[in-house]
Chain A
Amino acid sequence: QQQVKQSPQSLIVQKGGISIINCAYENTAFDYFPWYQQFPGKGPALLIAIRPDVSEKKEGRFTISFNKSAKQFSLHIMDSQPGDSATYFCAAGKAAGNKLTFGGGTRVLVKP
Chain B
Amino acid sequence: KAGVTQTPRYLIKTRGQQVTLSCSPISGHRSVSWYQQTPGQGLQFLFEYFSETQRNKGNFPGRFSGRQFSNSRSEMNVSTLELGDSALYLCASSASPGAGNQPQHFGDGTRLSIL
Contacts and interface: CB of A to CB of B under 8 A. Distances in A.
B8 interface: no
Nearest to B43: A102
Interface residues of B, number: 27
Contact of A46 (B42, B90, B100, B103): B103
Interface residues of A, number: 27
Interface string B72-103: 00000000000000000010101001111101
A95 B101 contact: yes
Contacts, number: 76
Which residue of B55, B94, B97, B107 has the most chain A CB atoms within 10 A of its CB atom? B97
Contacts of B94: 98
A44 to B, nearest CB: 5
19 contacts: A31-B100, A41-B108, A43-B4, A43-B106, A44-B106, A49-B100, A95-B99, A97-B55, A98-B33, A98-B56, A98-B97, A98-B104, A99-B33, A99-B56, A100-B33, A100-B45, A100-B99, A102-B42, A102-B44
